[in-house]
Amino acid sequence: MSVELEVHDSQGLATEEMTLNMGPQHPSTHGVLRFIVKADGEVMRRAIPDIGYLHRSIEKIAEKVGWHGFMPYTDRVDYVAAMACNQGWAMAAERLADIEVPRRGEYCRVIAAELSRICSHLLGVGAMGMDLGAITPFTHAIREREMIMDLIEELCGARLTFNYMRIGGVAWDLPHGYVEKVSHYLDHFEPVIEEFNQLLGLNRIYVKRLADVATVDADMAIAWGLVGPNLRGSGVDFDVRRDIPYSVYEDFDFDVPVGSGEMGTTGDCWDRYIVRIREMDESMRILRQALAGIPEGPVIARVPRNFKPPVGDVHVKIEAPRGEQSWYVSSDGSEYPHRVHIRTGSFTAMGIIDRLSRGLMIADLVAVIASMDIVAPEVDR
C-alpha cells in the first residue's frame, strides 16, 4: 500500500504529499469502505480502495448451509437490493437441477425484483444528492422508498432482507388486491421522478459538480469491466434483461436508457446519475406490463426438500440494480453446493475509482463513489 509519489509544484520544488484516510468511518463512504487518498492539497494523486471491512464469507457459508438454507444469506449480499440476489441464487440452482418455474412465479419474481430496483435506485440517487450537499432530495427519495418498502413488506413480511424467492418459484403468492395497490402506487410515483429532476438533477450547481467529472468512455468502461448503469452511463447499450433474457423479461417491452453526454461528456458522473433515474421509469413500464399480464396458476414448482442437483457447474447472469451479477455455482451432487462465487457490480466499480480519481479534487471522490452507486457489502460479500 505504500505508494509514494513525488509531488512538484510549479517551480519544480518537491513538496510532501498528504495521506488522507477516508473511511472506514466516514459519512459518505456508503457503508464501511476505506480509501487511502494521496493528496496534494485538495487535488488527489491517488485514491486506493481498501476493501474487506464487510467481508462475511457469504460464499463460504453457502458450502455449509445447503441449497435451500442459503436463500436468506443471499439477502445480505446486497442488502439494498436483496431481491436480485435472491433471484440470482434461485436461478442458478434451478438451472443446475433443470427446474421449470411456473409462469405466475416468474411474474411474481419480476414484480418483486423491479420494485426492489426502484427502491435501490432511489436510495442511490438520493444518497448521491446527500453526498453533494443537498439534503432534501435524500429525504424525498427515502419517503418514496418507504412506500415501496411497505409494498414489499406486504408481499414477504420483510422490509430489507426479503427472503422472498425459493428454488422453483417464490414463497408466497401476491396478497389480495396487491395488483391494484402497486398500480396505484405507480400512478403516484410517476410525477415524483420529474419532481426529483427539478429539485436535484437539473439543478445548476448539481450539474456543474457532476458534468465532465470522472469521465469513463465506452472502451474504458468495457476494459475495466464496469456493469449495469455504470456501463450504460458510458454509452454502452447493454442490459442483461434484454440481451441475455432470463425469467420472463422477453414478454415485456422496455427501453434501455444509455448515457449520451447531455450535460457534458458521455460517461461522466451526471450520465450515470440520469441513467439510474431513467431506469426507474423503465422499471415502472415493466411493472405495469407485468401487473397487467400476470397469469393464474401456482407460484412455485415442486422441489424436493432434500434438494440435490446433479453434478455440474452453472453460470447465471442477472441484471441487478448495481449491474450485472454473475453467479457461478458448482455442484458435486450432494445437498451442499461445492463452490459458489458471486461477481457483483460494486466490486468492479471499485477497481476503476483509483484510476478516475487521479487529478480530481477530494470533493469529487465523493461524487465518483456516489455516482458508481457503490454499496460496501456488495463489494466484500
Partner 1 sequence: MQAFLDTLLGDAAGLERQLGYLAGMVVFGAVVVFGFVLPFAGIVTWAERRIWARIQSRVGPNRVGPFGFLQWLADGVKNILKEDIIPTVADRPLFRFAPYVVMVGFVGAFVCVPFSGDLIIADLNIGILYITAVTSLVVVGILMAGWSSNNRWSLLGGIRAATQIISYEIPASLAIFPAVLLSGTLSMQGIIGEQGAAPWQWHMFHSPFTLLGFGLFFTAALAEGNRTPFDLAEAESELVAGFATEYSGMRSTLFFMAEWGNLYVIGALVTTLYLGGWQVPQFTYNPVLMNLAQVGVFMGKSLACVFFMIWLRATLPRVRVDQLMAMCWKYMVPLAMLSVLGTATMMVALPNGSHTLRMATFAVVVGVVIRFAFKVRFHLKRARKLDYTSLSPGASQGLSS
Q: Which residues bind partner 1 (CB under 8 A)?
A: 18, 20-21, 26-28, 42, 129-136, 139-140, 143, 146-147, 150-151, 153-154, 181, 184-185, 188, 199-200, 203, 205-206, 208-209, 361-364, 366
Nearer to partner 1 by Cβ, of 203 and 289: the residue is 203
Q: Give 299's Cβ-side CA count (13 Å radius).
A: 15
Cell numbers 468495457 correspond to 222
Minimum distance, C-beta of residue 370 to partner 1, in the bound complex (Å) = 9
Nearer to partner 1 by Cβ, of 150 and 313: the residue is 150
Minimum distance, C-beta of residue 218 to partner 1, in the bound complex (Å) = 26
Minimum distance, C-beta of residue 1 to partner 1, in the bound complex (Å) = 17
Nearer to partner 1 by Cβ, of 81 and 200: the residue is 200
Q: Residue 320 has which C-alpha cell? A: 441487478
**Nearest to residue 66, comparing CAs of 337, 341, 338, 342?**
337
User: Residues 6 or more apart from 73 whose CB is under 8 A from it?
Assistant: 58, 61, 62, 65
Nearer to partner 1 by Cβ, of 62 and 200: the residue is 200
Contact indicator for 138, 39 with CB cutoff of 8 Å: no
Q: Where are the beta strands (DSSP E) in the chain?
A: 7-8, 14-15, 18-22, 34-40, 43-50, 165-166, 169-170, 312-320, 323-331, 337-343
Minimum distance, C-beta of residue 243 to partner 1, in the bound complex (Å) = 34
Minimum distance, C-beta of residue 227 to partner 1, in the bound complex (Å) = 25
Nearer to partner 1 by Cβ, of 26 and 103: the residue is 26
Q: Residue 77 has which C-alpha cell? A: 449480499
Q: Residue 181 has which C-alpha cell? A: 395497490
In whole angstroms, how far apart are CA 208 and each of 42, 195, 281, 334?
Answer: 18, 19, 24, 56
Q: Is 201 exposed, middle or buried (0-12, 13-18, 19+ CB in 10 A)?
A: buried
Minimum distance, C-beta of residue 49 to partner 1, in the bound complex (Å) = 17
Minimum distance, C-beta of residue 70 to partner 1, in the bound complex (Å) = 29
Q: Are strands 312-320 and 169-170 parallel, antiparallel or unpaired?
A: unpaired
Minimum distance, C-beta of residue 235 to partner 1, in the bound complex (Å) = 25
Nearer to partner 1 by Cβ, of 3 and 205: the residue is 205
Cell numbers 450537499 correspond to 133
User: Angle at the Cα of 123 (from 211 to 215), degrees rounded to 5?
Assistant: 20
Please spell the DSSP secondary structure of 133-158, one letter per residue: T--HHHHHHHHHHHHHHHHHHHHHS-
Minimum distance, C-beta of residue 140 to partner 1, in the bound complex (Å) = 7
Helices (H), 170-239: 178-196, 204-210, 218-223, 229-233
Virtual CA dihedral for 214, 320, 80, 208, nearest 10 degrees? Answer: 20
Nearer to partner 1 by Cβ, of 148 and 258: the residue is 148
Nearer to partner 1 by Cβ, of 220 and 360: the residue is 360
Minimum distance, C-beta of residue 144 to partner 1, in the bound complex (Å) = 9
Nearer to partner 1 by Cβ, of 13 and 135: the residue is 135
Nearer to partner 1 by Cβ, of 290 and 365: the residue is 365
User: Residues 6 or more apart from 263 whose CB is under 8 A from it?
Assistant: 207, 210, 211, 270, 271
Q: Residue 209 has which C-alpha cell? A: 459538480
